[in-house]
Structure 1
Amino acid sequence: MLLIIFVGALIAGVAGAFYLKRHYFDSMSLSRLNLVDLTGEKVDPKLFVGKPVVLVFWATWCPSCRKELPEFDRVRKSLGDDVLFVAISDEDLGEINEFVRSKEYGFDFYKSDSNLLFYGIRTIPRTFFFDAKGKLVAEAQKLITADELLGYIKQIQ
């Protein structure tokens, strides 16, 4: 009897996780973003439409994020202005600014006015790939290499 209950709970958990993943993927859109720039000024997410967008949710304390961001910047440099790279954290604006000042990344960093859970983000880094019309095409829920990043970018160009 306990085995049946355990298996039932396991199936329900997997189904629920799949539903939530699908729900958040389907509902993630650039228009949902609630952002401010590094000076604290509100940002209109419509600014991100018109070019393919690589959008990464990250944090200053996240080792995988700190490893991934330089890779993103190298790829960004190789592509020029063809793809927009955006990095979003929900941390304190002072912490984000301190981190950004200590690096020389060529893409834009923003603070989310909403907790990352609002976007369904439970782990970071988490990267979303939007085409030039703002349609979500793909996502990565892990640290990705430059080669993997280029593969995703091909899908949105």
Structure 2
Amino acid sequence: MRARLILTGLLAAAALTVAGCGTQDNASSQGTADTAPPAASGSSAPAGGQSGISAVPQALRFTGTTVDGRPFDAATLAGKPTVLWFWAPWCPTCKAQGPETARVAAQFQGKANVIGVAGLDKPQAMKDFVSDTRVGAFPNLSDEAGEIWKKFEITQQSFYVILDKDGKTVFTGSLPAGRGLADKLTPLVG
């Protein structure tokens, strides 16, 4: 049994590594995920984590740690559209998306959330990426174990998941150089 669990974990890690950097240009999903995949064990946040929010959508029931070591509770994102940007430090496609993602985060500050979710490398490489690409104005999570990636069923880096204010997935896919991210977020903040 233990060998099977280890093998399953190794296969999942290999799939993430082999998936490549930006191999899928644009796969969208318009409103197909009313419920998010089940939360990874030990990664759920209590409902109502923020004053004035009666329930936290399943998609936002996870916790993590930012690349600079601060605790993060996704329940605090409830009630606003949210962009989750899944990236890897060594990925050139991810580096190209950084400036546009940072611009969109600044443009929609206070109206929508933008969160980076780093994986597939070590914490120092994640910190260096945030510094080098100047994406530190919004939270970037260190997901070295891949728990958040698994929750959202992410199998490749350079991938966006956009949730509406109710936590419903309205887009999943890659956006070359981040182009089109603002266009996808604009109707959600109306």
| TM-score w.r.t. length of structure 2 | 0.60
For the residue of structure 2 that corresponds to 1:61, the secondary structure is coil
User: How many angstroms does 1:55 deviate by?
Assistant: 0.8
Q: Verify: 1:65 aligned to 2:98, yes or no.
A: no
Counterparts of 1:156 and 1:114, CA distance in 2 = 31
| Partner in structure 2 of residue 17 of structure 1 | none
Aligned partner of 1:99 in structure 2 is 129
Q: Where does residue 110 of structure 1 map in the other structure?
A: 141
Distance 2:152 2:107 in 1: 30
Shift of 1:79: 3.0
Gaps of 5+ in 2: 1-27, 38-58
With 69-78 and 35-44 compared, the bigger mean Cα shift is at 35-44
Of 159, 164, 172, the match for 1:126: 159
Equivalent AA in structure 2 for residue 56 of structure 1: W
**1:144: Cα distance to partner?**
5.3
* Inter-partner Cα distance in structure 1 for 2:188 and 2:169: 9
Supply the distance in 2 between the matched residues of 1:139 and 1:95 (Cα, whole angstroms).
25
Q: Does 1:82 align with 2:111?
A: yes
* Alignment-derived partner of residue 154 in structure 1: 186
What amino acid sits opposite 2:141 in the alignment? Y
Pairing 1:27–2:56 present: no
Looking at secondary structure, tell me which structure has more helix per residue: 1
Task: With the length of structure 1 as denominator, give the TM-score of the two structures.
Answer: 0.71
Structure possessing the higher radius of gyration over alpha carbons: 1
Percent identity over the alignment is 21
| 8 Å contact kept, 1:34–1:113 | no
Do structure 1's residue 49 and structure 2's residue 58 form an aligned pair? no
Aligned residues between the structures: 134
* Aligned equivalent of 1:141: 174
Paired amino acid for 2:122: D
Gaps of 5+ in 1: 1-20
Cα RMSD after superposing both structures: 2.6
